[in-house]
Amino acid sequence: SQTIHQWPATLVQPVGSPLSLECTVEGTSNPNLYWYRQAAGRGLQLLFYSVGIGQISSEVPQNLSASRPQDRQFILSSKKLLLSDSGFYLCAWSGDGQGTYNEQFFGPGTRLTVL
Amino acid sequence: QKEVEQDPGPLSVPEGAIVSLNCTYSNSAFQYFMWYRQYSRKGPELLMYTYSSGNKEDGRFTAQVDKSSKYISLFIRDSQPSDSATYLCAALSGGYNKLIFGAGTRLAVHP
């Protein structure tokens, strides 16, 4: 079976500090990977997606970046956090093994508070 | 206009009630629709996945798509307190399976 992990679970960071959030998927190969952000009381906004190692597409221009150094690893980064970066960050995957590439499965999320 | 619109609620119902959750969408090219359930401070969980128009049933849950009116619905029969959560509708867009989400409807089922 497939599992998706995210860490850390919660994070409190000062404005201007760097950020690194990690997501890994087990039990599948060549998944599509996604980063979403959910602001309080709002739906999910797609930030980045990746269809393969080193292939990153950005949906929303901002001070965040993403990287995919390995097939099942997806990293969300920032050099300098802004207050507006606070939110619930969710990683998702789709692909073979569970459903189809149409169905996305989410991780447990990282709650980021920027002070 | 948002591509997927959803009434945020909250919706409060007694245990055993039939719940109807609804979304509308604007892009007639959307073909695949999803419903996710999200408990507080957790990641969304995929509940139902439907293609084009029609109904799909899974236990107490029924997903319905009406492409002529661009309307998608989720019905929950015999609702339970454990169904209390936020329900998110989503439409699949584009070649890389980008999901467009509604804002989510918060549901509370009270005993």
Question: Each residue of A6-33: pLDDT tens digit?
Answer: 999 999 999 999 999 999 999 988 999 9
Q: Say if residues B10 and B84 touch (Cβ distance below 8 Å).
A: no
For residue A14, the surrounding DSSP H or E stretch is none
Name the average pLDDT for chain A. 91
Tell me the nearest-neighbour CA distance from B45 into chain A, angstroms. Answer: 7
Average pLDDT over residues A73-94: 95
The pLDDT value recorded for residue A1 is 83
Count of other CB atoms within 10 angstroms of residue A24: 18
Largest CA distance in chain B: 44
Could you tell me the two tokens for A21? Answer: 């959030």
Could you tell me the two tokens for A102? Answer: 């149409």
What is the spatial distance between Cα A41 and Cα B44, in angstroms, rounded to a whole number?
A: 14
| Residue A98: pLDDT over 60 | no
| Residue A36: pLDDT over 80 | yes
How do B71-76 and B61-66 pair as beta strands? antiparallel
| CA pseudo-torsion sign A95, B42, A6, A80 | positive
Q: Which residues of B touch A2 (CB under 8 A)?
A: none
Which A positions 2-41 lie with beta carbon below 8 A of chain B? 32, 34, 41
Tell me the nearest-neighbour CA distance from B8 into chain A, angstroms. Answer: 8
The pLDDT value recorded for residue B93 is 84
The pLDDT value recorded for residue B39 is 96
| Residue A97: pLDDT over 60 | no
What is the spatial distance between Cα B60 and Cα B109, in angstroms, rounded to a whole number?
A: 14
The pLDDT value recorded for residue B14 is 97
Confidence tier at A99 by pLDDT (50, 70, 90): low
- From the list A42, A49, A99, the residue facing B96 with the nearest CB is A49
Average pLDDT over residues A89-96: 90
Q: Which residues of B1-30 are buried (b: 16+ CB within 10 A; e: fewer)?
A: eeebebeeeeeebeeeeebebbbbbeeeeb
pLDDT under 50: residue ranges of chain B: none
A104 touches chain B (CB under 8 A): yes
| Residue A40: pLDDT over 90 | no
Could you tell me the two tokens for A101? Answer: 């590439």
B36 touches chain A (CB under 8 A): yes
Total CB pairs under 8 A between chain A and B: 58
